[in-house]
Amino acid sequence: MTRPVFKRILLKLSGEALMGEGEYGIDPLTVARMAEEVKAAKDTGLEICLVIGGGNIFRGMAGAAKGMDRAQADYMGMLATVMNALAMQNALEQLGVHTRVQSAIQMDAVCEPVIRRRAERHLEKGRIVIFAAGVGSPYFTTDSGAALRAAEMKCNALFKGTSVDGVYNADPKKDANAVRYDTLSYDRVLQDNLKVMDASAVALCRDNGIPIVVFSIREQGNLARVLAGDGTATIVQEEN
């Protein structure tokens, strides 16, 4: 599959990807490996924004399902994303990669507030910007936060690193006959309710012409291969 060359991307990682083989929390070795993947991508000349989910620590919707107030649970989930962002920042800086964490919930002792023009300047100076705390409001997922930051930062594409190598017509972990798509349109994803990202995130990418590239982050070296057009992935974009 031939893919365009990108100058600036937003990389969205699930919080669960940081758990490694564990069932909860942050595995330092896994975070270090992912940081190496991100560094390898940056070394190609890319400008990179990062968004990391918080599901390895706390997921707001899961808390709400167990009786918690949804808004309160979502704020707890946002704080989990800040913890993941700081863990990734530490791993990247140990590799010599300069980073800044910007949080949509202000916490000056550990990171910057989200300021678009400051983030632009960081990228121009070769730093990776990690956006944390989603959009700063409850009832929105980190997928929506990733789509918002991708649009705000004028990224050429949104890369979503998951535990599977693309988008399927069924869950490949449960259905051996599931078929992977090479390409999809935004409208097809929305109409068929394919589990790429939540609907508001897909619609925001569609409205701003931002392709979504879904690939497996668990496979070592895969991010660089996908960026080079060699890896296995599904790209969601406007139909020609």
- pTM for the predicted model, two decimal places: 0.93
Give the span between the Cα atoms of 182 and 233, in whole angstroms: 7
Give the span between the Cα atoms of 201 and 14, in whole angstroms: 15
CATH 3.40.1160.10, domain 8-236, yes or no:
yes
% residues pLDDT > 70 (the chain): 98
Mean pLDDT, all residues of the chain = 92
Mean pLDDT within 126-141: 96
Do you know the residue count of the chain? 240
pLDDT at residue 240, as a whole number: 65
Residues whose CB falls within 8 Å of the CB of residue 66, separated by 6 or more in sequence, listed in order: none
Residue-wise pLDDT tens digits, 98-112: 999 999 999 999 999
* Most confident segment among 28-32, 192-196, 228-232: 28-32
Alpha helices in 59-157 (DSSP H): 60-65, 70-94, 116-124, 142-152
pLDDT higher at 31 or 63: 31
Give the span between the Cα atoms of 93 and 42, in whole angstroms: 13
Q: Is the pLDDT of residue 2 over 60?
A: no
Residue 218 and residue 163 in contact, taking contact as beta carbons nearer than 8 Å: yes
% residues pLDDT > 90 (the chain): 74
Q: Is the pLDDT of residue 3 over 70?
A: no
Give the span between the Cα atoms of 2 and 100, in whole angstroms: 32
Mean pLDDT within 77-89: 97
Q: Is the pLDDT of residue 4 over 70?
A: no
Mean pLDDT within 29-56: 94
1 falls in which pLDDT band (50, 70, 90)? very low
Q: Which residue ranges make up each domain of the chain?
A: 8-236
Within 13 Å and on the Cβ side, how many CA atoms surround 140? 19
Read off the DSSP letter of residue 26.
Answer: -
